[in-house]
Each structure stands twice: as structure tokens, then as C-alpha cells.
Amino acid sequence: MRITGDQALVKKLNKSIVLDTIRRKGPLSRTDVSEKTGLNKATVSNLTLELIEQNLVEETGLGESSGGRKPLMLLFNGSAGCVIGVELSVTRVKAILTDLKGTILQEHVLPLGQLDEDAVFEVIGKVIQPLIDAAPQTTHGIVGIGIGVPGMVDESGLILYAPNLNWEGVDLKSRIEEKYNVPVVIDNEANAGAAGEREYGAGRHVRHLVYVSAGMGIGSGMIIDGQLYKGAWGYAGETGHMSIESDGRLCSCGNQGCWELYASERAYSYTSLPALTTAERVEQAKVGDASTLEMYEEIGRRLGIGVTNLVNGFNPQKIVVGGPLTEAKAWIEPKMLATIAKRALPYHRRELSISFSELGSRSAVLGAAHLAVAQFLGRVRVSV
Amino acid sequence: MRITGDQALVKKLNKSIVLDTIRRKGPLSRTDVSEKTGLNKATVSNLTLELIEQNLVEETGLGESSGGRKPLMLLFNGSAGCVIGVELSVTRVKAILTDLKGTILQEHVLPLGQLDEDAVFEVIGKVIQPLIDAAPQTTHGIVGIGIGVPGMVDESGLILYAPNLNWEGVDLKSRIEEKYNVPVVIDNEANAGAAGEREYGAGRHVRHLVYVSAGMGIGSGMIIDGQLYKGAWGYAGETGHMSIESDGRLCSCGNQGCWELYASERAYSYTSLPALTTAERVEQAKVGDASTLEMYEEIGRRLGIGVTNLVNGFNPQKIVVGGPLTEAKAWIEPKMLATIAKRALPYHRRELSISFSELGSRSAVLGAAHLAVAQFLGRVRVSV
DNA sequence: AGAGTTATTATAGGTTTTTATTTTGAAAGT
DNA sequence: ACTTTCAAAATAAAAACCTATAATAACTCT
């Protein structure tokens, strides 16, 4: 049974168009909104009224006139509610409290000891609670919690498999929803990062975006036509296990020559250098250690090779590279860009833009927060 | 200015839902349609009436009752119109005339001599004209022409680049539309093939499908959530130029280790055997020529490696392999499947199905024809 | 033959957009 | 100072479509 059309749908659609337009392009007058959206002025007036009643939009005062009555400018009111964004990694739980515009109001981090479900659940609670307590009094209160996790998440939010946590089939969503009585969205860390960069970072206004998160492994979040692509069962984006060397290194996944063995922190263990963290390696790079520089150059090259594969296959508008590895950006970037420039198909490359994360280590938390905002604001989309 | 909601949209949406339901699951009664779609019975009745007036649906008689009035069964009337599907390759132009259900009514092929735009245009005309003349008298007549071409096509139907034809920026669509005064859809050969297999072949009822077309090169058509994914500018699917060997063979595209150098007919030229066509190679394989068998085994392995990459990155529901190379299916398949079974991520593999083209050399023409049908029937889609 | 089921159609009611009209507000001209 | 002019926003009436409910039609079973 699919979504059918009725007046309620029409109104929901138009209302979400009006809100979205004001949110992205405001301040605008009602007439501006009408012109930009194609909706009738009367319709915009009605819907705006409701949005103002919901406190999601506010009139900020008079704008400039071009010869008649001055327009009343409308602005999205990000302060009408709050959300919490959580990033769950293997070592720690990071959470932020933001308003509906993504302004970070408060941040809180705790280390993670044991990784069993109950222990993690408890830590999440300890990280979140202070944020909930600190949330300002707003019209809608805390409207949702978004969580990014290092693993595969299906469409319903069930964590199917998180190898690094040793989790399989964990329904964190329901547990948190029950405890806090607030809608919860759970997604993969890379998907959350992609959402974050697309909404608040390097991918603003981009419709087709691939976010590559390089850390202990590589994962990708793909935004297609403005929407996260999750594949048939929610496991899309495991590009770290794309083979770029048919008979290359053996990976724990069973495949050979996986991209992440050459282009993530996992590549460290294949060098003769003692396995260090990225922070330590970066120190070595800063003092000009030759073998470290060489290693980062090779990582850059391999990153470029993998990104080229994504570019040729996907034809995205933009590639954003993020994740812990990007601390070493300075030593990785030149070779990566050169490799892509040399290898990617000319037409694909022509209008492609490549950049590094703008939100740094906050891509995923901000993205998780945004997923919750997006669910609250409720976007309707139609294609003909 | 995006699509806004009004009653016309609602009606269009619901009508397309009703038609689609009858088309895919018919014969059904009005009540069945109401239950399956969630639309009110009265609404279904109204819309069905209009569809019957348009001759797109017909009442086929009474069905079985389970204790009350017998239902009037409804069926999609594929004979209400015709379309023409064209496959343009480097050596020939193939075209078919089908009804709206994809039944092939007539077929016509002509070889291609010169490859300049005018010459090709003329041959297309010669192939199409007899089909147009042969088209039966129907309510809607010839409702569209769909064309699959070996190159990249943007969203507007402009052929941006077709290396094998040496074309760049050719607006075949407008020329044919002007001449025949009928809507024309143009897409990449792999995309057409994907559409064909999804509608009439191995991918029926599949929402997330990747079609891999292996011939002189490799191209992929990706169907995401039932819709062809074209990327930011229409060039998605050039997976043949995904590198599976970072420092491998040099490709004409500028990249190294491109998949198609190892897993398409282009691999032939890297063997010590004289470069033969697939037809000839298959003959050799049939008589058990050792080096040919070995070669096909290697091609199978490499195909498997590339397919694994697509599976891990995309998480499709189904992979369909087609194209001229699949004439050698018997010698390729075992190794390909074994490679995928060994290399693909367990969760991705679990519910994945892999098969070869069911439509054989007709995937692309049938797909092209279907693209025209789909445009005529006009599908509206909503997501919340 | 009559009661119970199921399919389809008819009618009325409600919601929403659109079109047309009116009101409000500000600047410019007389 | 008052009117005119232009544009923004609000209001009122009209049209379109879906839903709910009821009515009718057709059939099965006892």
C-alpha cells in the first residue's frame, strides 16, 4: 500500500515547500515565497500563518520596497525546538544539543569502556541527560534524537551489524525512544556525516554528494537527489571494501585488496613503522619524517584511486572527504587531487568539486542532529 | 520552482497508482484495487472509469466470488497504443515495434556504414519507417520512440559524448522528434538494458537493481527505488572505468586497471591468442580449447571482483549481467559466482540475487521501448 | 424464498487550492 | 495636506477532488 493523494497530502507537501523555502532562502516576503515556489499568494499566506502559529516562522520586520507597501520579511525560527545528536564510536560517545538550525548549544563527551549493549546504553544516557537538562524552554521542546553508529543500519533503524562493537541486530532505537519518549533516528556514521556536511558543511546546496569517511576504515554516505541512499536493505556505502587491487592484501571481510587497507588508518599497519595513531603520525609528518611523508603520499594516491572509482560510477556533483584521517589532510591532499585529476573520466571531472570536511570531527554529530530535525520538520517530495 | 500540490496533482498521482496497480497485478476488481492501494472504493471507481474511457483499462468479465456479487475484473489494455524501441550500436541499428505491454510486434535491423550524425540519422529513419507503417490502428497510435545509445546522455536527452561513434553534443532527440512528431526518450545503452530487464526480464519486481552490460566495454545501469539513477549530470554508470588494479593496464580513458580491460571483450586483446570475436571464441571454448577456457575463467573471476565492488558499495537487491559477452556465459558464470560468494560482504550477499540477462540481445531495445511507454503513462511518485 | 455477502455506484460533506476582490501601507505628486 | 499610485497581504467565493456513508445490484447459501 503506497502513499496516495488527498488534500492532507497536498497541504503537507505545500507547507513543507513553504517552510523549506523560508528556511533555505529566507528572509523572504510572502510574495517572494509565492514567486519562488509557484504557489498562489493566498496559499502562501495561509500556510505561513500556520507556520507562525507553530512558531516555526517569524516575521522579522519590514524589508525594502520597490515602490509600494513594504514587505513583511519571514524567517525560519530555529529556536522553536531542540534536538540531540549523538555519535557513537568504539572509544567514546559524543553528543550535542542544537537548535533547529544546527546551532550547537552544548556538547558532552564520555569515554566508552565496555562495549556490550547495556553498558553502551548506560553511557549514552549519561551523555545525553545533562544535555536534556540544559535544553532551553522552547515551544516544541526536544523534538528528536539522532544517532550515528559505526555499523550497518536498516531502514527501520535496527542496527544489523556493527563489527567494531561486536553488535548484531541491536534495537537501540526502541530502547532510547522508550526511555526518553522522543522520536529517535539511527543511521550509519558515514551517512550521518554525509547529512551533516550536506546540511551545514562543505555540501550545502549540493544534490548529489558522496561523503567519504576515512578513519579506522572507510565508509561512504551517498546523497542522491538530496536524499540519503541506503540501498536495498540499508547496507549501501561500504565502499571501504571495494577492491582496488584484485590480488592484493587479504581483508578481514573475506575480500582482497580492499580500498580501506590502502587508504585508511588500517594502512598504517602495513608499513615498517611502528603502528601509531594518526595524531602521532601527524607529529612525525610535521617534523618531516621521510617514511611518514612517503606513506601519506601513498595513502593520498590510493584515496584518489578509490574516489575516482566512485566518481566514474556515481557521477556525483561533489565529493567530501572527512573522518579522523583528514587530520593529515596537508600531506594527503596534493597527491589525492592529482590522482583524481589524472584518472577520472573527463566529463565526470569537469563539473566535479572535491573538498575536505568543513565540520571536521563534528560532521557525524551534526548530521545525526540534522536527521532528527529533518524528521521533525517532515519533508514531502514528489517527482513526475 | 518545484512541483507543488493541488488537486490536479492528487488526481494524477492516484490515477497513476490505479493504472500501475492494474498493470502490474491485474486482473483485479475495483475492490481489489481499493484494498491494495488504500484508495477509497469510490475514488477507484471514478479513476477506473476515466482509464476505461482512455482505453487503457478494460473490463474482461466476471471473476470468482466468495459468497456475494461477482467482481468485474479489470486488465491493463496493452493494445491501446504502440511504441518504437531503438538500439543504436556501432555496427547496426536495431528497432522494434511493441505494444504498451512490451509485446514485440515487429523487428527490423540495418547495418551502419558511416558513423557521422547525418548518416546515422538516415539509417535510423530507414529502420523505423517500416515499423511505423506496420503499426496497427490503435486508440493512441504511436505514443513514443525510445532510443538506447552507446554513450553518455544527460537528463535532457542530449548525447554528450559517445566515444565509439565519435559524437559529442548531438541532439538526436530533437531531430527525431521534429521528423516524426512524437515524444522521444534517449538514454544510455546500459540504462536502457537495465530498464528492459527490470520491466520485462530478470529484474521484474525488483526495486534496487544493477544491470551490468559487458561487451566491448562495461557499462552499468542502476535502478534505485524503481528509478534509473543518472547521477548529477547523467553520466552515472561508467563502472567499466572503475579501477580494480591500481597499477594495472593503461586504459584509453587515462585511468589504470579499469575493470573493462579485464572483464569485457577488451580483455581478448591482452591474451596471446589472435584477437577474435566472442562468437569465434565461443566456438573455441565449445571444442575445449584450453587457453580460451582459461581466459574465460579469468574473465569470470574479474567480473566477479567488479560485481563485488558494486554489491558492497550499492547494496542492490539484484545484479543482472547482460551484453554480448554473455554469449560465453557457460564458461564465465561458475568462476564469477564463486568469486562473488567468496568476496562480497556477508550481509550484502545474504539476500542478493545474481542472474544473467533474460532478454539476451533484446534487453536494450525492449528497455528503450519501455522508456517510451513509461513516459507516455506518466508515473507520479511521492515520498514522505 | 430469504438472509447474508460482496461489488459497484450515488450522494453529501469536507478540505484545499485558485481566482478575484478588498484592505492595508508607504511613497510620490499636486 | 490630500489624493493618487503601486505593491503586499488578507479575505471571500468558487472549483476540484477525496472520503464516508448509504443505496443499489448481483450473487451464494441454507
Chain B: nearest CA to A21, how far in angstroms? 10
pLDDT at position A3 over 90: no
The CA distance from B8 to B286, in Å, is 60
* Same domain? B123 vs B59: no
- Å from B30 (CA) to D21 (C1')? 18
Better pLDDT: A1 or B101: B101
pLDDT per residue over A168-197, tens digit each?
Answer: 999 999 999 999 999 999 999 999 999 999
* Same domain? B208 vs B190: no
Give the H or E element holding residue A299: helix A290-314
Inside any domain, residue B383: no
Those residues with Cβ within 8 angstroms of residue A270's Cβ, 6 or more apart along the chain or in another chain:
A249, A261
From the list A328, A194, A320, A222, the residue with the least C-alpha distance to A267 is A328
Predicted local confidence at residue B362, as pLDDT: 96
**Is strand C less than 7 A from the beta carbon of A46?**
yes
Chosen for mutation from A235, A308, A336 (greatest number of chain B CBs closer than 10 Å) is A235
Would you give the end-to-end CA distance of chain A in angstroms?
A: 19
Can you read off the three cell numbers belonging to residue B203? 529484474
* Same domain? B224 vs B335: yes
Inside any domain, residue B69: yes
pLDDT at position A264 over 70: yes
Q: Which chain B positions have a beta carbon within 8 Å of A380's beta carbon? A: 382-384
* Same domain? A88 vs A162: yes
Predicted local confidence at residue B333, as pLDDT: 97
Q: A286 is in which domain, residue-wise?
A: 202-357
- The single residue listed with the C-alpha cell 540499508 is A234
* Same domain? B324 vs B247: yes
The CA distance from A271 to B346, in Å, is 29
What's the mean pLDDT in A63-86?
A: 84
Backbone angles phi, psi at B58, to 5 degrees: -135, 155
Nucleotide nearest to B10 (CA to C1'): D17
Can you read off the three cell numbers belonging to residue B74? 479489470
Q: Which residue is nearest to nucleotide D24 (CA to C1')?
A: B69
3-state secondary structure chain B: CCCCCCHHHHHHHHHHHHHHHHHHHCCECHHHHHHHHCCCHHHHHHHHHHHHHCCCEEEEEECCCCCCCCCEEEEECHHHCEEEEEEECCCEEEEEEEECCCCEEEEEEEECCCCCHHHHHHHHHHHHHHHHHHCCCCCCCEEEEEEEECCEECCCCCEEEECCCCEEEECHHHHHHHHHCCCEEEEEHHHHHHHHHHHHCCCCCCCCEEEEEECCCEEEEEEECCEECCCCCCCCCCHHHCECECCCCECCCCCECECHHHHCHHHHHHCCCCCCCHHHHHHHHHCCCHHHHHHHHHHHHHHHHHHHHHHHHHCCCEEEEECHHHHHHHHHHHHHHHHHHHHCCHHHHHCCEEEECCCHHHHHHHHHHHHHHHHHHCCCEEEC
* Same domain? B100 vs B184: yes
Number of independent structural domains in chain A:
3
| CATH, residue A169 | 3.30.420.40
Question: Do the Cβ atoms of B235 and A315 come within 8 Å?
Answer: yes
From the list A219, A93, A223, the residue with the least C-alpha distance to A145 is A93
The CA distance from A39 to A21, in Å, is 12
From the list B53, B56, B19, B50, the residue with the least C-alpha distance to B37 is B19
pLDDT at position A210 over 90: yes
- Å from B199 (CA) to C8 (C1')? 32
The CA distance from B143 to B132, in Å, is 11
Question: Do the beta carbons of residue B350 and residue B315 sit within 8 Å?
Answer: no
CB pairs A-B closer than 8 Å: 214
Q: Which chain B positions have a beta carbon within 8 Å of A308's beta carbon? A: 243, 255
Chain B: nearest CA to A110, how far in angstroms? 31
pLDDT per residue over B309-337, tens digit each?
Answer: 999 999 999 999 999 999 999 999 999 99
DSSP-derived 3-state class of residue A254? coil
Share of chain A above pLDDT 90, in %: 74
* Same domain? A134 vs A181: yes
Predicted local confidence at residue A64, as pLDDT: 67
* Same domain? B98 vs B70: no
* Same domain? A291 vs A172: no
pLDDT at position A66 over 90: no
Q: Please report, for residues A116, A299, A317, A379, the alpha-carbon distance to residue A129 in angstroms, rounded to integers and kept in the order given.
A: 20, 40, 39, 29
Can you read off the three cell numbers belonging to residue A106? 552544548
Average pLDDT, chain B: 93
The CA distance from A214 to A266, in Å, is 10
pLDDT at position B162 over 70: yes
pLDDT per residue over B339-370, tens digit each?
Answer: 999 999 988 888 899 999 999 999 999 999 99
Chain B: nearest CA to A19, how far in angstroms? 13
Question: Do the Cβ atoms of B382 and A384 come within 8 Å?
Answer: no
Q: Which chain B positions have a beta carbon within 8 Å of A317's beta carbon? A: 232-233
Q: Please report, for residues A290, B271, B327, B333, the alpha-carbon distance to residue B282 in angstroms, rounded to integers and kept in the order given.
A: 53, 15, 7, 14
The CA distance from B226 to A20, in Å, is 26
- The single residue listed with the C-alpha cell 514522505 is B384
Q: Which residues pair with A354 in a beta bridge?
A: A319
Inside any domain, residue B343: yes
Inside any domain, residue A57: yes
* Same domain? A21 vs A70: yes
Question: Do the beta carbons of residue B189 and residue B89 sit within 8 Å?
Answer: yes
Question: Do the beta carbons of residue B172 and residue B147 sit within 8 Å?
Answer: yes
Q: Looking at B29, B56, B76, which one is the last position of a domain? A: B76
Inside any domain, residue A185: yes
Q: Which amino acid is at B361?
A: S
3-state secondary structure B264-323: CHHHHHHCCCCCCCHHHHHHHHHCCCHHHHHHHHHHHHHHHHHHHHHHHHHCCCEEEEEC
**Is strand D less than 7 A from the beta carbon of A45?**
yes
Q: Looking at A30, A52, A76, which one is the last position of a domain? A: A76
- Å from B50 (CA) to D9 (C1')? 40
Inside any domain, residue A43: yes
Binning pLDDT at 50, 70 and 90, where does residue A65 land? low
The CA distance from A114 to A383, in Å, is 47
| CATH, residue B64 | 1.10.10.10
Average pLDDT, chain A: 93
Q: Which amino acid is at B67?
A: G
Q: Looking at A59, A76, A93, which one is the last position of a domain? A: A76
B344 touches chain A (CB under 8 A): yes
The CA distance from A367 to A347, in Å, is 30
Give the H or E element holding residue A261: helix A259-263
Inside any domain, residue B109: yes
Q: Chain B residue closest to A309 (CA)? A: B242
**Is strand C less than 7 A from the beta carbon of A47?**
yes
What's the mean pLDDT in B48-76?
A: 86
Q: Which chain B positions have a beta carbon within 8 Å of A229's beta carbon? A: 224
Share of chain B above pLDDT 70, in %: 99
> Tell me, what DSSP letter sits at residue A166?
T
Q: Chain B residue closest to A311 (CA)? A: B236
The CA distance from B198 to A157, in Å, is 28
* Same domain? A212 vs A333: yes
Between β-strands A142-149 and A82-88, what pairing exists: parallel, antiparallel or unpaired? Answer: parallel
Nearest to A309 among B152, B243, B253 (CB): B243
Q: Which chain A positions have a beta carbon within 8 Å of B305's beta carbon? A: 243, 246
Inside any domain, residue B384: no
From the list A159, A167, A224, the residue with the least C-alpha distance to A189 is A159
Question: Do the Cβ atoms of A312 and B241 come within 8 Å?
Answer: yes
Predicted local confidence at residue B366, as pLDDT: 98
pLDDT at position B70 over 90: no
DSSP-derived 3-state class of residue A83? strand
Question: Do the Cβ atoms of A232 and B37 come within 8 Å?
Answer: no
DSSP-derived 3-state class of residue A177? helix
* Same domain? A63 vs A95: no
**Is strand C less than 7 A from the beta carbon of B9?**
no
The CA distance from A187 to A234, in Å, is 9
Predicted local confidence at residue A235, as pLDDT: 85
Predicted local confidence at residue A68, as pLDDT: 65
**Is strand C less than 7 A from the beta carbon of A42?**
yes
Chosen for mutation from A12, A28, A243 (greatest number of chain B CBs closer than 10 Å) is A243
Question: Do the beta carbons of residue B273 and residue B285 sit within 8 Å?
Answer: no
pLDDT per residue over A6-62, tens digit each?
Answer: 888 999 999 999 999 999 887 888 888 998 898 988 899 889 988 998 999 988 877
